Amino acid sequence: MNPITLIIIYFTIFMGPVITMSSTNLLLMWVGLELSLLAIIPLLINKKNPRSTEAATKYFITQATASMIILLTMVLNYKQLGMWEFQQQTNNILLSLVLISLSMKLGLAPFHYWLPEVTQGVPTHIGLILLTWQKIAPLSILFQISHLLNPTITSILAISSILIGAWGGLNQTQTRKIMAYSSIAHMGWMMAILPYNPNLMLLNLIIYIFLTVPMFLTLMMSSSTSINSISLSWNKTPTILVMTSLVLLSLGGLPPLTGFLPKWVIISELLKNDSSTMPTLMAMMALLNLFFYMRLIYSTSLTMFPINNNSKMITHHPIQKYTFIMPTLTVISTLTLPLSPQLIM
């Protein structure tokens, strides 16, 4: 693809969520969502890989359907209130429509069907964009209308997403699908706390991004697409894979790593709001997530194939790409909580 075209595409992808985040007008929010959707479609399509074309089609149909629902809600809201702002809306039907459409864009259960397949069918760096940057715009809208959301509905979405994210990742061997189900589970944690404390949702989102980026960079450096292939990378990039193990433990929320922080504060906040059943279920299902992270660590670090001549040759040519940023990201994603324990106070 032409470099100038790529620059325009990536700039548009960047500006879409920025427009949505900086707007209180539902029309401008919709424009931001559409910009990020239309800009990423050319990156999803690869003429040499039919699977990427299939993934782009699934992504476009799902996102276009969600955008259509948002547009319908926007028109009905303007007809009812005579304004484009949505923050004063009290109609439960319109609020439910917005929540459903944004859940489709985020890949929340039971609207998650497209996310694992699309993430698996696109290049790894595009999968990283889908699971991080593309989540920001819908979550920013939910943040602005969090005081209008029904806690019962968001709790159902949260529990189902955490459950699907945990169970779905158990029988996967493809690393990108595992990260997709991990994203579904993390989105569930964000939805659980959204009606009670939106600021904690933002904290969870920031930590989730800092955990996901180094994981995807590792997959790109080692060219690993499955659990079996990632185990062959030990002789190629041992230092990077040690850092990956720490990031995976942090993704699983194992104390005292950084990933434990959002789970701890979310459970504490839910308990303060007289909700004990929901945090108990969430904590139990988080163990399932930790299990498939531990399985990845076992395949990555604790199983080593015999070193043959080919693997010895590989160690003479270590991968240098992205290594300049990996130590910083690893420290942030694993040691933020141990270095700043006052964050949980």
Q: Are residues 41 and 175 in the same domain?
A: no
Q: Within this chain, do residues 342 and 230 fall inside the same structural domain, yes or no?
A: yes
- Tens digits of residue pLDDT in 108-131: 989 999 999 999 989 889 999 999
Same structural domain, 90 and 165: no
User: What is the rounded end-to-end Cα distance, in angstroms, of the chain?
Assistant: 50
How many other β-carbons are positioned within 10 Å of the β-carbon of residue 228? 11
Instruction: Check whether residue 80 and residue 160 sit in a common domain.
Output: no
Give the mean pLDDT of 149-155.
Answer: 91
Structure tokens at 260: 């434990």
Judgement on whether residues 166 and 256 belong to the same structural domain of the protein: yes
| CA 51, chain centre distance (Å) | 21
Per-residue pLDDT reduced to its tens digit, 241-251? 777 888 888 99
Residue 127 lies in a domain: no
Average pLDDT, the chain: 85
Q: Does residue 325 lie within any of the structural domains?
A: yes
Using CA atoms, how far residue 309 sits from 14, 128, 157, 240, 317, in Å, is: 45, 34, 51, 22, 14
Buried b (16+ CB within 10 A) or exposed e, 74-109: beebeeeeeebebeebeeeebbebbbbbbbbbbbbb
pTM: 0.90
CA angle 121, 128, 66 (to 5 degrees): 70
Q: How many CA atoms lie within 13 A of 130 on its CB side?
A: 34
145 belongs to a structural domain: no
Asked if 81 and 167 sit in the same domain, the reply is no
Do both 192 and 314 map to the same domain? yes
Residue 143 lies in a domain: no
> Same domain for 319 and 201?
yes
Same domain, 161 and 100: no
Residue 292 lies in a domain: yes
Q: Is residue 25 part of a domain?
A: yes
Q: Are residues 234 and 330 in the same domain?
A: yes
What domain range is 21 assigned to? 1-108
The three-state (H, E, C) secondary structure of 28-89, written as one string: HHHHHHHHHHHHHHHHHCCCCCHHHHHHHHHHHHHHHHHHHHHHHHHHHHHHHHCCCECCCC
Tokens of 53: 């074309």
Higher pLDDT, 113 or 322: 113
One domain, residues 195 and 279? yes
Please count the structural domains in the chain. Answer: 2
The per-residue pLDDT for 301 is: 64
Tokens of 67: 């955008």
Mean pLDDT of 10-28: 92
Residue 226 included in any domain: yes
The answer to whether residue 4 sits within a structural domain is yes
Q: Tell me: the pLDDT tens digits for 156-199?
A: 999 999 999 999 988 888 889 999 999 999 999 999 999 999 99
Residue with tokens 């995976």: 248
Mean pLDDT of 271-290: 89
Residues 165 and 279 in one domain: yes
Q: Which pLDDT belongs to residue 344? A: 56
